[in-house]
Amino acid sequence: MINVVWLKRDLRVRDHEPLFNAQQNGNPVVLLYVIEPLLLADPHMDLRHWRFIYQSIEDINEQLAPHNGIILLQKGDVCGILQKIKDIHGSFSLFSHQEIGLNNTFERDKLVSEWCSINAVSWIESKQGAVLRGLRSREKWDKHWHKQMRAPTFDVDLDAVNWVSNSQLTSWNLSKFTLPIAWKKRPALFQLGGEKRAWHTLHHFFKERGKDYAFNISSPEASRRSCSRMSPYLAWGNISLRQMYQRLLKDWQRSGWRRSLSALSSRLHWHCHFIQKYESESEMEFRPVNRGYLSFPFREDRQRDNDVKAWYTGRTGIPLVDACMRCLRQTGYINFRMRAMLVSFLVHYLNIDWREGVVHLAKVFLDFEPGIHYPQFQMQAGVTGINIIRVYSPSKQAKERDPEASFIKK
């Protein structure tokens, strides 16, 4: 009997509960990553995401190499791949994190669950961060978040795991996935994926970058250095939120850092808070939280599509809006304030339905995380009916946040 650990948005080997559970009974362990046609075809996904995923896989493989292990990389639909493993190897147990993702991955998980019960395969799912599936009331959720974040991490001694070896995997004769050449490219302006990179970025933040975090967070230029820049690593699971929070606590008493650490701590809390909201109201992928906005008179005129295109290609003629969009396309990152301004411009200035823009931004955000992206997009578009409507003037933002226009010029 073997234990299969199915990796999704948890591309790391530390603080990994499914891996921890899988290695406990000493059975051979294999890490599986499936490149799914449903995600290859998903309009939210871009080449930048696949590169980041591949870099993360390479990083894990480097860590497994001394232990004679390697990720089993397969392309196909997950049930089909699981069936092949079963045909070749016989029964196994499946371990994974619960994915709080798009509707298509939720539907896929339902099929996997069905496949597992038909095939008598036990599937042990672990929670992602502090997010609870099917939660009815969020009343005591804050307490739960703190408990989860302070709990011990799930670390394994890689040396002690009984890995299914590289040569054993080869003998299974599963079809090999030929990687598109474009996935192997590493454009210089993008953050690189992988557990090592994640920790390097975090150490650098706590070493010096983060001291002025709270003061620089809204500047499109200074935020690139002063913000943690951990979002892609958290989104693709190169590091867990718990690991990041526990690292923050180590510096909690550090003199001169309190304001910045407190601001960061709130945002780590928001990370799960938004994903939890999305888990409980996942229809927000398709409709406004406040149904009243279904009949809002957004523009329907013939110029509308051209304006959407000008917005996402950075050609509206409004300098800060265009600079942010071009920056996103070139680097995959922009800070929170500018993200909010981009949505505000689309929805409040151009009067275009938020659904026309939400996928475009997902595609260019290297850190695309459905559970943060959808609630944030709707919030900034003012269609939740809960938060006050925020309209960000691009010229006011430019005067205050980029007074010398150095970001715009760059």
> Residue 95 in 3-state DSSP?
strand
Smaller CB separation from ligand FAD, 108 or 229: 229
Report in angstroms how near the CB of residue 123 gets to ligand FAD at its nearest.
Answer: 27
221 in contact with ligand FAD (CB under 6 A): no
Q: Which of residues 326-345 bind ligand FAD (CB under 6 A)?
A: 335-336, 339-340, 343
Token pair recorded at residue 384: 């939740």
Give the x/- contact pattern for ligand FAD in 101-130, rule: CB under 6 A: ------------------------------
Spatial strand order of the sheet with 123-126 comes to 72-75, 29-35, 2-7, 92-97, 123-126
CA distance 410 to 217: 19
Closest CA to 260 of 204, 203, 209, 211: 211
DSSP letter at 392 equals -
Site residue total, ligand FAD (CB under 6 A): 27
Choose the binding region for ligand FAD from 18-26, 108-116, 154-162, 231-239 (rule: CB under 6 A).
Answer: 231-239
The distance of closest approach from Cβ of residue 178 to ligand FAD in the complex, given in angstroms and rounded to an integer, is 30
**Residue 407 CA from chain centroid, whole number:** 26
Q: How far is the CB of 163 from ligand FAD (least distance, A)?
A: 31
Q: Which of 14, 44, 229, 277 binds ligand FAD (CB under 6 A)?
A: 229
Residues 258-277 that bind ligand FAD (CB under 6 A): 264, 267-268, 270-271, 274
Cβ atoms of 260 and 210 closer than 8 Å: yes
From residue 349 to residue 368, the character string flagging contacts with ligand FAD as x (rule: CB under 6 A) and all else as - is: ----------------x-xx
Q: Report the nearest approach of ligand FAD to the CB of residue 218 (Å).
A: 10
Cβ proximity of 375 and 100 under 8 Å:
no
The per-residue DSSP string of 313-377 comes to HT-SS-HHHHHHHHHHHHHS---HHHHHHHHHIIIIIS---GGGTHHHHHHH-TT--HHHHHHHH
Which residues of this chain interact with ligand FAD, rule CB under 6 A? 227-231, 234-235, 264, 267-268, 270-271, 274, 335-336, 339-340, 343, 365, 367-369, 372-373, 376-377, 380
